[in-house]
Amino acid sequence: QSALTQPASVSGSPGQSITIPCTGTSSDIGTYNLISWYQQHPGKAPKLTISEVTRRPSGVSNRFSGSKSGNTASLTISGLQAEDEADYYCCSYAGGVTWIFGGGTKLTVL
């Protein structure tokens, strides 16, 4: 099963909003709402940022939000801050015991 498709990089200025798309297929994102997003700073473990498409875990800023349409999920970060600069990965259930990650998107805060 191939990785979900994400842009390699996105950028935005402080205070702006950005959206990171994550495209899959009808066998993963298109079928299941078990879609999560992870933030990873260099040299650190990933951190759960959005769960089950739209849920924000306790402690995650409300500037982070998630959505899904068809075979594409999206992560939106509003009011960009310097600390948001990191790699972001989407993840979807794909049936059986299979989970698929996206290739990752490097967010640069200009």
Partner 1 sequence: QVQLVQSGAEVKKPGASVKVSCKASGYIFTNFYLHWVRQAPGQGLEYMGVIYPDGGGTGYIQKFQGRLTITRDTSTTTLYMELSSLRSEDTAVYYCAREIPVTGNFDSWGQGTLVTVSS
The residues of the shown chain that bind partner 1, judged by CB under 8 A, are 1, 3, 34-36, 38, 45-48, 51-52, 57, 89, 91-93, 96-104
Q: Which is nearer to partner 1, 36 or 71 (CB)?
A: 36
Instruction: Quote the CA–CA distance of 71 and 23 in Å, as a whole number.
Output: 6
Residue with smaller CB distance to partner 1, 82 or 97:
97
Nearest to 92 by CA among 23, 17, 45: 23
Cβ of residue 21: shortest distance to partner 1, in angstroms?
16
Give the contacts of 54 (CB within 8 A, at least 6 positions apart). Answer: 65, 66, 67, 68
Minimum distance of partner 1 from residue 24's CB (angstroms):
13
Q: How far apart are CB 69 and partner 1 at their closest, in Å?
A: 19
Strands of 64-69's sheet, edge to edge?
18-23, 72-77, 64-69
Instruction: Rank residues 57 and 70 by Cβ distance to partner 1 and give the closer one.
Output: 57
Helix (H, G, I), strand (E, B) or coil at 79: coil
Of 14 and 92, which CB lies nearer to partner 1 in the complex structure? Answer: 92
Shortest distance (Å) from residue 78 CB to partner 1: 22
Cα(21)–Cα(68) distance, rounded to whole angstroms?
A: 9
